[in-house]
Each structure stands twice: as C-alpha cells, then as structure tokens.
Chains A and B, each alone.
Chain A
Amino acid sequence: MNSMTTTDILWHRVATVQDIPENGGACALIDGKQIAIYNFTRRGEWYATDNLCPHRQQMILSRGMIGDMQGEPKVACPFHKKTFSLKSGACLSGDNYEIKTYPIKVEDGLIYVGLNV
C-alpha cells in the first residue's frame, strides 16, 4: 500500500476506480481500520466513512444502498435502514448517531483515503 503525506493527513492508496461498484460501496482495510468507500457515480462524487454502523455496532455500511434525501447524499445501513449523511456523517433518520467521514480523492484512476496522523 502506498502512502503520501499532505499537512497532517496521511493519504492511503486503497483501490482502483474499477474496484468499487458504480453507485455503490466497498470496504477498505487501512491499518486495521475498516473504512467504507462509496463511488457515487451519479453525482460524480466519492465519499469515505466509517464502516461501523453505530446503531448495533455492525461493520456493514459499505454494503448499504446510497442515495439522497432532499439533495443530501446518504447511505442506508443494510441492517435496520438507519441513514447517514455521506457529507457530515449525521444520522438522517432521526436518531442521535453520528459516523465519521474521511477525505477521499481520485488521481489517475487510483483512490486515496486520508486519515489523520
């Protein structure tokens, strides 16, 4: 795995664009941490969040359906369909949960996720 550093973020190269299904997600293991990566083809956007759903502590969000709620991009947990903003990590289905989001970028068909050092 290649890494590059910008300020205090450490960028990890995790996969190629083809590895992540269109309008869907996949899970990357970065330093033992599970990060969900979403290829929001429809919006031409990429997102990265925790893979852990805070509702029942399940490692699953990368297998959730993505979409939007009034324009806000979101992911729905496959277990009980709690939904979370891909931008802010806030729970959009009315509970007091939050997930972490991470910076993500694509260069030359390669995906990089940034974690704080």
Chain B
Amino acid sequence: MNTEKVVVVGNGMVGYKFCEKLLKKDSSRTFEITVIGEEPRPAYDRVHLSEYFTNPNPDHLTMAPVEWYIDNSIALHLGDPVQKIDPSKKCIYTLQGKTFAYDHLVIATGSAAFVPTIPGVEKDGIFVYRTIEDLDLIISYAKKSKIGAVIGGGLLGLEAGKALMDLGLETHVVEFAPRLMPRQLDDTGSETLQTKLESLGIKIHLNKNTSFFDGAASVTALQFADNSRLEVDMVVISAGIKPRDEVAAKAGLEIGPRGGIVVNDALQTSQQNIYAIGECALHRSMIYGLVAPGYEMAEVVADRLTGGQKSFSAFDMSTKLKLIGVDVASFGDAFGSAEGATKICFEHKEKGIYKRLNISADKKHVIGGILVGDAEQYNMLLQMVNNKMVLPEHPEDLILGARGEGKSSGGAGVMQLPDEAVVCSCESVTKGALCLAVEEGNTDIGAIKKCTKAGTGCGGCVPMVNDLIKETLKAQGKVIKNVLCEHFDYSRQELLDLVKVGGLKKYDEILNQHGKGDGCEICKPAVASILASVWNEVILKQDTIQDSNDRYLANLQKGGTYSVVPRIAGGEITPEKLIVIGEVAKKYNLYTKITGGQRIDLFGAPVHLLPDIWEELVNAGFESGHAYGKSLRTVKSCVGSTWCRFGVQDSVSFAIRVEDRYKGIRSPHKVKMGVSGCVRECAEAQAKDFGIIATEKGWNLYVCGNGGAKPQHALLFAQDIDEETCIRYIDLIMMFYIKTAEPLTRTATWLNKMEGGLDYLKQVVIQDSLGINEQLLREMQLLVDTYHCEWKEVVENPELRKRFKTFVNSTDSDAEMAFEPMREMKKPSNWTV
C-alpha cells in the first residue's frame, strides 16, 4: 500500500492534538507522520502553563511523552524551526538544514506574544509569557526584583499578574482600556473584579498608555503618556497575540491584513494541500486565541485527510478565568449587543459579586452574560446559550439560585440539556456521549476521562461532568452516595455510626453485618481507622487490616526496611535523650535525619529489629511518634516568649500540651499542628491543620490548612482566646472531622467540601447549632484518656512481638536487602526498574 506523508509544522497543543486525532481515524495506517517543532520539548499544556510556578517540573505539563510518538511511529524532530516551505517542490527546510518532503502539510505554528513597539522595549527585565523558557526567565529575574508590572489587563495579563504576585513581587497591572478584560467584561464587571484584585494585593492602573520604558541597561520605570510614572524592577508584556505566519508568508500563502494564515472552512490555505490550524490560522477574519477552537480545527483536518467532510464554523469564545482566586466568566453575547436584548443584573458590592444575564428580545432565551465573584453557574448558563434552551419562569433564579425550601439549584439542571449539547468543548464530547459512557459503567470522573477524554483539556467542564455522572446514575435508580468500596455500600461517616451503635470491634464482624465479600486494601484500613477513632484499642490486635505503615508501626522504606520516629513533643528535647537516639542509631547502624517536623528519623531498620530498637527508646522515656499513622503527627513550635525577644506567649509549653493531648488519636488522614509565639509565625502554624498563633491577649486559632501537594493556608477561626477555649475548639473540630470526613481527606479538603464552609463550622462549634458538642467533647475525652504508646504494647507483649519476623521458617535476614554507602552513612540501593 502507498503511504502518504503528512508533515506537521509546530508541536504545540493543536499540532499534538492533530496527531492524536489523525492516528485515531487512520486505522489502516495510510499516513506517515512527521512533526517538526521549534521548542526543545514535546508539546505541553500551555493553558496550564502558570502551574509551572508551583510545580516547576515541565513533565507535569507534557501532553504526551516522547515514547508516545515513538510507539505511534511518528517521527518527532524537536528544537529546530522550519525556515522555509517550498509548495512547488512540496518540501520544507529547517534551520539545521534538514529537508522533509510532504504530501500534506499542516501548519500549527501557533502565535507569539504581541510586543508593542514602545521605546525601550529591548531593555533587560522585560518579558513575555508564552513558553516554559519564558517562565524560567521570569522566575530567575524575579529573585532579584521587588516590583513587577504586567502590561495588559486581559485574560492572560491577569494570569501573569497572579504569577508575579505568587513570586512575591509587589504587582501592578497596567491596562490601556478604561476597564479590565475589556473584551469580556462591562464596566460594572470590571469594577467588581478590580476591587477583588486589589483586595488580593494586585494594583490596577487603567487608561494608561505606556510611552517608554525608562532605565539604562535594565528597565527601572514605566513612563505613561499622561506623564505619570511607575517604578518597576521587571515587566511582563501580555498585550495580545501575533500569529506565527512568517514562514507561511515567505512561501507565498495568503496572509490576512493584520496577520494570520488565511484558511477556508476546510482549513486549507491558499494552497490546497497545505492546512493551517490553531492560533496561526485566520478563519473568516478571526484568530481564535483559545484551545478549544484549535482542537476543533485539528478534528476537521484529521477528518478531511481520512476522507471525511467536516468543516469549521464560527466557534464560541466564552471563557472563564482560572487561577487568579476570583471567579470571572463571560459567555455568549456578553454585552447584550443583539437587537432588542434586555438584561438582568445582580450586584453585591460587599461580597464582590456581579452577575449579568442578557435575555433575547422575545424573552425566551439567555443569549450571554457576565459573572464576577461567583461563576458557579457558568457551565450551565453557557449550555443554555449554546443550546437555545427556553428560560425558566423566573430567569433571575439562574443567577440568584433557587430560593426557598425544598428547591434544589445546581446539579439537576444538567439533565435538561439536549443530548447534542457539547459539554467538553476541548474534546467535543456531548452530553449524550457522556451519559452513555456512564450507563456503560464508567461511573467516576477518572473512568470518564479515560474513555471519553472529556475534562482532559482545560478542565473547565469537570464540575458539570461530575453532575452528569451523578444525575445519570440517579436516573437509573441507583442511589448515589460516597461508598467506601465494592465491599461496603456505606460512606465512612455512616459506617462509623453503625460501628458505634452496634458496639462492633472486629473487622470481620463488621464485614459480615454490613458488607459483602472479603474486603480489600481500601476498606480494611478505613475500618481500622474507624475502629481506632471509636474505641482506641491496640491497633495490632487486628494487624492484617492495617495499612502498610500501621501494620508494623513504622514507615516502610525502599528495599523493605522501616524507619523509626520517636515523638519529640513540640520539638523540645534534652541532651540526654539526644544522646540515646544517637546511641541507638549507632548500635543498629541506622541512617539519621532531622525531619521537616522537628524530630529525628532513624531509617533502615529490618522488621525483626523494630521491637528491640523500640525497647531501647521506650526505656529511655521515648514514645512512638506515630509518623506512620493517619493520626496526629507533630505539633511544631517556635521557641516563643521564654527565649525569643519578640515572643508574646510561651509557644513551646502550649505546643507540648497540645501534642500530649492529641497524640496517638487516629483520624481520617494525618493531622498536623503548629504553635507560634508571635505574628512572625516561625512555626508556620498557618500551614497546618490546626495553627495557633500568640497574640498580646491570648491565642488566634487557625484551622484546616496544609502543605503538601496542594498547599492551602489555614483560616482564622477565633481570635484572642485563652488556652482552655482553644483546646475546647480543637477538641470539637477534630472530633467533628473524625466523625464526618471521607477516608484519606485532610482537614482542608474536608472544609472545602463542607456546605456553608467556615461559617457553618463556626456555628457548629461556637454556637453548638447541631446540639452535639457535649457528645463530641465526651468522645474526645475518651480518646485522650485511653492513649497508649503502641511501641510499648509490642515491646511488652511477647505474642505481638513474635509477629515482627522476616521469615516464618528461618532466622536469616533478608539477603535481598542491599545498601550503599552515602556520605558517612548508608542508603538503600535504588529501585532496579
């Protein structure tokens, strides 16, 4: 069979998507695909580029790794821009001097940031925001800068502004127009957004025309046409995009008057066998600067090449701003410019909310609108516009939410969408296709993403897809709830109540009475955690239902050894105890490290030596530090008023008190706390599940923060309270958390999902709105009173001790364990695969 050569110029989001789509349609492998990209790495998710600031690992953004191209026989040629296209010879030439012949050429060169010709623009410290390399430059320059400005107050400019702020700069956004996001927002929308952004610390300058960049080699100030000036250390220009049409232009392809490669509805350029897709293409005088229309273009060309007849038509430009910490969305005819259109507006200045709906002249349909401050209804409203759905009797409900008893807002509406409604516009997945996938048994978002690809692009449709899953299952008569796993049709909270009411203490008993099958690695630890939270018995009574670390009361390491972390409450330790740790480590040849939690970790203990090691530690007055448990870990403290010249309260003493109170208590996930002696916050308490910060009058209590993969600051729960009140509040919140959170949910996520959020939690705890406080306090006191050191239980119980063995039939140690020297200690040999 004859193969045809398809060459793709540009390996960006759209170029990649084109390859993916063509492979899928080209089942007989008629095409031989070559991809040429200018950037040094394979296509990555530019839409989520800003996430690079928090996770500077480019792999995390990669659309598909290099192996994907190899596996699919795509010749990938990176780091080498195409310099010339010769349509008559059907060849392209690269900068490095390579030549590739094509039968079909697909140009997907995207766009570059548009840089206005302002004098001084070439100075150091002026950047654009488009590629990973741009971000690397920005990050490194920001280290020596204090003040940053973004030129451009549009979608991207605001995203860049947020990034500068996150890099710790005093941040200014400079916009030429009289309002922010001028293409998406009206005046009130812009004002609301501006107030919000200013409260986040971003300074906004409207109506500012930059006349030159001041400074010698590097920029030091922006000079505006109105003679005002802004001192800056660095500038990010985000003033729009410029299609990368230079190579196409040289090849004689038709280019629009203001740039862009002209294409017809089949996305052909003025040369029939040359296509242009994505941000470089000019379709009916329009450049689409969004990824969804680009993907649709990729679909059309892949379809045409494989014999289809699809064509590209005008595409919806609705958008939702992400990342900035303020909801902003604009959809359909945002300004209500259609003939006879009327509007409904809602504005709540104090809360920073503005919503606008534009209604058609016949009052039957929503035609567009704007949401600032709360864009929860965005997906649904967009669907109403796109599907011309008829307005409900009280259209204001759409932006105000259904009010009054028994009315539900949110979820249910999705089922009224027609089957053809496109829910995921990046991957063009319709409601019908999604419902079908759910009916076929893909009942969670992960499965749906895998089989339909919905939600894998910009991710904006995920909430709606979740609603669809829920509602489809409901429509099938399936009761939707959070169940533990295939063995228990109960949520953690329900099971906890059943365990408690039934007085159940054994996993098998619980499985017999309330579950089915033989259990698994999901429900066993979840039930173990429930049992520990309710009865607080020795967990090793049922060792085989404990998770990896809990089973051996130590953390499992590479190579199969364990680490030992004794409790060092509040980080305070005597020299004598330090010496004991050192001696134990030396005797058992353990690697020692100071942890991020203010204590010392001893690594590399084989399972059969754990009880001996614990015995020595216990005899010296140590206890288990529960580093292995979903339980209280550490209460980090700063030195506080005893020594510190700024301290206003004794944070170490309070931290030790708190740690002693809650140590060993099992919970849905681990719990960390911190106590700082003054506002300087050296204990990083606001990054903890419970953070306590000293004030002149007492303590401020912060709740539900965490570090980890998705850091979130704790929220202020109560101010200037005394120690007793503080403990009482922690008792209540922690017990409420233990009883109601899903398995493996940190307090931050628990609060994020709680309806009513912090205000609700305050009502429960401070006003006792549920009338359960007395019970919660009693339950917490039981856990405090039944504390035991788990290591000591093993050390003193020969039956339990016997279980710490490497082999049942031999006293040999594990010959497969391998170590290598590292500095003056050792480390396990690396995974071999």
Contact = CB atoms under 8 A, between A and B. Distances in A.
Interface string A5-22: 000000000110001111
A70 B518 CA distance: 9
Given A56-B831, A56-B833, A21 B803 contact: yes
Given A56-B831, A79-B548, A68 B808 contact: no
Contacts of B803: 21
Given A20-B808, A63-B548, A57 B832 contact: yes
Given A29-B812, A37-B808, A58-B559, A24 B520 contact: no
Contact of A67 (B508, B521, B551, B556): B521
A60 B561 CA distance: 10
A25 B814 CA distance: 16
B544 A65 contact: yes
A13 to B, nearest CB: 9
Contact of B556 (A74, A78, A83): A78
A69 interface: yes
A44 to B, nearest CB: 11
Contact of B560 (A37, A59, A65): A59
A68 B518 contact: yes
A14 B520 contact: no
B805 interface: yes
A75 B520 CA distance: 8
A90 interface: no
Contacts of A32: 815
A24 B543 contact: yes
**Category for how many chain A residues contact B:** 35 or more
A40 B375 CA distance: 52
B524 interface: yes
B832 A19 contact: no
B810 interface: yes
A57 B831 contact: yes
A71 B519 CA distance: 10
Nearest to B817: A59
A23 interface: yes
Contacts, number: 106
Contacts of A70: 486, 517
Interface in B530-583: 543-545, 547-548, 551-552, 556, 558-560
Contact of B809 (A23, A25, A29, A60): A29
Nearest to A57: B832
Given A67-B520, A68-B519, A76-B520, A23 B544 contact: yes
A73 interface: yes
A69 B809 contact: no
A45 to B, nearest CB: 10
Contacts of B833: 55-57
A105 to B, nearest CB: 16
A68 B520 contact: yes
A68 B517 contact: yes
A27 B519 contact: no
B517 A71 contact: yes
Contact of B551 (A59, A63, A66): A63
Contact of A22 (B544, B551, B558, B812): B544
Nearest to B523: A67
A59 B518 contact: no
B816 interface: yes
Interface string A38-53: 0010110000000000
Contacts of B763: none
Contacts of B545: 23, 65
A66 B815 CA distance: 25
Contact of A69 (B520, B556, B816): B520
A65 B524 contact: yes
Contacts of B815: 32
A21 B523 CA distance: 19
B544 A21 contact: yes
B517 A28 contact: no
B806 interface: yes
A56 B269 CA distance: 51
Q: Which 7 A-B pairs have the closest CB atoms?
A: A24-B544, A78-B548, A67-B520, A76-B521, A68-B518, A15-B808, A56-B831
5 contacts: A37-B808, A40-B518, A65-B524, A68-B518, A70-B486
Interface of B: 486-487, 508, 517-521, 523-525, 543-545, 547-548, 551-552, 556, 558-560, 607, 803, 805-810, 812, 814-817, 831-833
Given A66-B518, A76-B520, 16 more contacts: A15-B809, A19-B808, A21-B803, A24-B544, A28-B807, A29-B810, A30-B809, A56-B831, A64-B521, A65-B525, A65-B545, A67-B519, A73-B518, A76-B521, A79-B556, A83-B521
